[in-house]
Structure 1
Amino acid sequence: MTDLFNYTIIQNPDPLRVTAEISGISADKISGKISKVENFSLALHSNDTGILGAVESFIALVATLFANVPSTYVNKNVVGKEESFALGKPLGYSFTVEGQPITVQVKNSLELSDHQGMLLAAGDVEIA
Structure 2
Amino acid sequence: MTEEPPVRRARHLMDPSRPRPAVRQEDVQRLERVQRWVLSILVVTTILHLSAGLAIAAQYVDEDALSAGIGLSVLSGAFGVIAVAAGLAMHKRGLASPWLLLGVVPGIVSAYLVLR
> Structure 2-normalised TM-score?
0.32
Which one has the bigger helix percentage?
Answer: 2
Which one has the bigger strand percentage?
Answer: 1
Structure 1 or 2, whichever has the larger Rg, is 2
